[in-house]
Structure 1
Amino acid sequence: MKNIFIAGSLAAMLFVSCKKDKAIGTPVEIKPDYALPQAGASTADNNRVVQLFNDYGSYFLYVYTQKDFEWTQATSTGNSRIDTAVLGNPQYVGAMLDYLNDVWLKFLPADFKKKGGIPYRIFLADSIRQYRTGYPPGMEYLYTDIKVSGKAIGFAGMNSGLLTMTPAVKTTRKLALTTAIWNYYLGNNIVDIPASFYNVSNYTAAAPATPLNTSNPANVEAYRQKGFLPNGYNAVSGAPFEWHNGAFSWTNAKSNDISAFIFNLTQRTDAQMASYLTYPLIRQKWDILVNHFQTKYGIDVRAIANATY
């Protein structure tokens, strides 16, 4: 009898639920995040922005709010930090697109651009300022060429300076943009690193007792033989900065190692790298990465580094 009662109850509930069914109304329209074209740029430049969105699903925006760009406050040091984008003059949208293509986009194949190579939002700005409280008037702002924020990147420089930029300045900016963009790719798993790269060097060796620098050439030589590159260079003297100094940096040896290789792969010319590539393990790891990025993503990382203006 209990089973009959349960079955009857279920049937009654089903009948009632069917009686209460109503027709589904008109679907709610999901509007795009931004309306293109935006107002201010020429028709030709707006057409380029629209085409970039149609091709790659990425918004290249020159009209946006500070909330769009990002507002961040950090108090870990006792000072607030506010990153602010100053909107550029729309008449320079075309010149800005040319600039970004020359230092970044032309090196990427179409498929890679569609699969995250271009973030969802690109903010075109005159300048990007960082306000720091507690500093004297006139010294409270820092400026940067690029700001990565989540799935968006802001680029500064959309102003008359694009029309008079020297090759040296363009190269310097390319290097700064390349560093931030490739950190973004790695951090968001847009590109990966093959296991074969990490299988070459020994990451369990202890750090040297004395620093790696020109005063300790034996240490430098030993670590080159182990397959390790510098992670930067002095802008004036060209002297290398070594990441493997001290116990702490050595606990993050793998991440430091790949960062150093990506830096050199994308920023140092063939001539600058020639002496390093005479070391067998450096050369082996180098070739692994060059082939990996070319084969899997269609990116010639050496073309990025060797580009001149």
Structure 2
Amino acid sequence: MKLKILIYSFLSLLLFGGCGKEELTPAAEIPPLYTLPQGNHPYDKTIVDFYNTYGTYILYKFTDKDFRWNFNTNISFVAEQGDENYIEPALAALDKYLIKLYPTDFLKKALPYKIILSSRIRSVSTNGTVLDNYINAVSTSSHFAFGRAGSTLSTLTEAQLKTMKAELNREFWRQASAYGKIPMPPAFVAATSYNVVTAANRRTYGVFTVPNGSQNIYGDLVDYLYNIALQTPQEWEQTVFTTTNDPTGRFRFKYNSIINYYKEKYGLDLQSVSQNK
């Protein structure tokens, strides 16, 4: 009993002993990580307006950490600063091949904290060598990056632009789905046990790729969304839904589960994404 009284007295001192002191002032508001506009070009107003609409920063000036850091490690890519002479066409391409394809309310939910415009993104090999290649888009938990904010954008062929568009949409969806901003279709989630999928039987389970010998639900979903952006419904019929490629009908089932779910939940017409040029 005495122990209880002592404990009560001690807690009372902790709770009420500071009543005679001045009230604590609230902590200062944490300033934003980035400041817009980044420059004084006419296109900077477009970037500011985009932030005011969606709450997403578009950065063409960024640090290596801004681009590479992802939770607790660096991604295996490096990026060069956006070329300020080509930001305007890069913004136009971003709008044409991604932003205008989705409703505003959906974009407010799905867009990342920042979008990085880089003049060139390159892969980094496992031994640290920076490869001599061009990557259209990559993503992390906080951003997706567009790697054509430079002179190469105007040199791309129609076929290359089609691939660029599909990869841009893939990375947009990767960060939106893998990090919980947009829910996954329940029927798609239940359709595949990934622990039994191999490169040899992937068609049986409706899986496009088995990277490094295994696949997971997030990689599988973005594979579908990449191909939805790349191929029209008619092209799916001719390539993916054939008897040889889809012997169990699992590709068709999973495709329909994605199309129907996002149409019902968000009013998205994903089948039209590939048809917008």
Say which of 39, 57, 60 aligns to 1:59: 57
Say which of 258, 273, 277 aligns to 1:304: 273
CA contact (8 A) 2:139 2:175 kept: yes
Give the C-alpha shift of residue 171 in structure 1: 0.9
In 1, Cα distance between equivalents of 2:77 and 2:191: 41
Which 5+ residue runs of structure 2 have no aligned equivalent?
Answer: 244-248
Q: Match of 1:274, SS?
A: helix
In 2, Cα distance between equivalents of 1:53 and 1:196: 34
Match of 1:271 in 2: 234
RMSD across aligned positions (CA):
4.1
CA contact (8 A) 1:62 1:123 kept: yes
In 1, Cα distance between equivalents of 2:103 and 2:177: 18
Give the C-alpha shift of residue 45 in structure 1: 1.0
In 1, Cα distance between equivalents of 2:228 and 2:22: 62
The structure that has the greater radius of gyration is 1
What are the Cα deviations for residues 124-147 of structure 1, in whole angstroms up to 9, with x where unaligned?
111113445586xxx854432222
CA contact (8 A) 1:108 1:298 kept: no
CA contact (8 A) 2:207 2:251 kept: no
CA contact (8 A) 1:231 1:263 kept: no
What are the Cα deviations for residues 178-222 of structure 1, in whole angstroms up to 9, with x where unaligned?
333323333112333333345667x59x889x957xxxxxx97xx
Give the C-alpha shift of residue 50 in structure 1: 0.8
Closer/same/farther in 2, CA of residues 281 and 156 from structure 1, 3 Å limit = closer
Match of 2:208 in 1: 231
Which 5+ residue runs of structure 1 have no aligned equivalent?
Answer: 73-79, 213-218, 233-242
Say which of 101, 110, 116 aligns to 1:107: 101
Match of 1:30 in 2: 30
Say which of 137, 140, 146 aligns to 1:149: 140
**More moved, 293-302 vs 117-126:** 293-302
1:7-156 pair list within 5 angstroms: 16-19=17-20, 21-25=21-25, 27-40=27-40, 42=41, 44-70=42-68, 83-115=77-109, 117-132=110-125, 140-156=131-147
Matched, 1:291 2:268: no
CA contact (8 A) 2:170 2:222 kept: no
- Tell me which amino acid in the other structure corresponds to 2:59: L
Normalised by the length of structure 2, the TM-score is 0.75
Closer/same/farther in 2, CA of residues 17 and 278 from structure 1, 3 Å limit = same
In 2, Cα distance between equivalents of 1:180 and 1:266: 12
**More moved, 83-92 vs 96-105:** 83-92
Closer/same/farther in 2, CA of residues 50 and 301 from structure 1, 3 Å limit = same
